[in-house]
Structure formats: C-alpha cells, structure tokens
Structure 1
Amino acid sequence: MKKVIVAALLVVGMTTFAQEKEGRKAGSERLTSEQKVDLQVSKITKDLDLNEKQAKEVRALVTKQVAKREAKRAEMQELKTKKREEMKAQREAEQAAVSSEMKKILTPEQYAKWEKNREERKEGIKEKMAERKEKRKSKNLPESK
C-alpha cells in the first residue's frame, strides 16, 4: 500500500513539475529594450535602495549595456547568416562537382536514373523536415534553424 501511495505522489509531482516548465516556456516572450532596462533598474533600485539621482545614473549605464548586448546579438546573428550562406554555396559547389564527375563516369541512362534517385532522396528529407516542424508546432517548441 505504501508503495502505491509513493508511486502516485511521484507521478503527480513529476506531472506538476513538467506543466510548470511548459508554462514558463510558452509564456516567455521577448522583452523590448526599454522593458529590459526598466526591469533591471527597478530590481537594482529595490535591492540597493537607490535614490532618484542614483537610479537615473544606473538607468543610463544599464541602457548602454542593453544596447551593447543587442548590437552584439545582431552582429552574431549576421555572422551566422553569412556562415550559413557560405556553407550552402560550398555544398552546392561540391554537389555540382560530384554531378559532373558522375556524368563523365555513367552512361546517359545511368546518369538520369542516378539523378532521379537523388531527387527522390531530397524530397524524402524535405518531407521528414516538414514532419519535424509540424511536431514542434504541435508541442509549442521553438523551431530549430
């Protein structure tokens, strides 16, 4: 009997914990720069009991910090985009080289069949990616890039 009660309590506890986690993820939206500054300044003001002059100076400092962080985030995002584009161009160049080599090796019929099989594999991969995306949407998870 004790084991059943302990097991039931564990199940209820884990379920509650899992729901809290999901709720936090679903409700977490990006704050604007001004909201971030306000939040940080109000927390510091409350924690350190700042006067108005100190609060204004802290606000100026926090505003600079937030601006720097956002600029850095934008810069990193731009670098990711550039790197992704470079990798895509490199991959396409490699695929073109393989294709031209295969064209030299295979007969026209074999090459056509090879290209057809290659396209079918690409479509299969695209379908799997679409399924994964749908699963993520149904679970309210962030999309991976």
Structure 2
Amino acid sequence: MKNMSAEDQATIATKKLTLALDLTEKQQSQVKELMLEQAIHRKEKMAERAKMKSDTENDTKLKVEKTDEQKIKAVNERLDRQIETKQKMKAILTSEQYEKWEKTQGRRHGKAKSKRKMKGDH
C-alpha cells in the first residue's frame, strides 16, 4: 500500500467500506473524501519519518530521539485525528452502518496489536 498514491489508497478503502457497509453513492463520495485526507496525512508522516531516518543515517553522531513531550504531543494528535474520524463517520453513516464500522475498527486495531506483539514490539 505504501507505493500507492493517496488517491488509490482512498479509492480502495472506500470500495472495501462500500462492500462491507452497503454505502450509497453520496456516502461513498463522503467516505472517499475522508479516506483521501487520511491517506495524504499518512503519506506526509511517512515522508517525515523517512527524512528523519535518512538525516540520522547521514550524520552518525546525530541520534534523534523524541522527548517525552514530543511523544505525548504525537499521541494526542493521533487520538484527536481518531476522534475526528469517528465523528465524521458517524455523520456520514446510518446508525446500523456506524455500529458495524465500529466493530470492524476494534478488530482491525486488535489485529495490528497482535502483529506487533508477535514481532516483539510493545
């Protein structure tokens, strides 16, 4: 997925949600807009991390670690984005669709967490 454009990622995510939740045309366009925002944000964050990594590799004396304050800020930003996404999805979807989407989100995050544990990350 990381080699795909943000537009392609948004399209695929929207189609998957359309299949799972039986979205209307209007819902599809709204969800695609939201998915595109998220994909663009993810691409930007990946580029930032890649730049930091290359800067660190180029200057072996420079070891960049986040301070506690930076870590807290990053967690707060991530949580704020998740809350915003939930609110937008709640406005787009019917109550039944939203319930189903909520359940899939829990499973998705659970899978990611179990994958990290298997790799040894915590």
TM (norm. structure 1) is: 0.39
Structure with bigger RCO (C-alpha 8 Å, 6+ apart): 2
Larger radius of gyration: 1
TM (norm. structure 2) is: 0.46
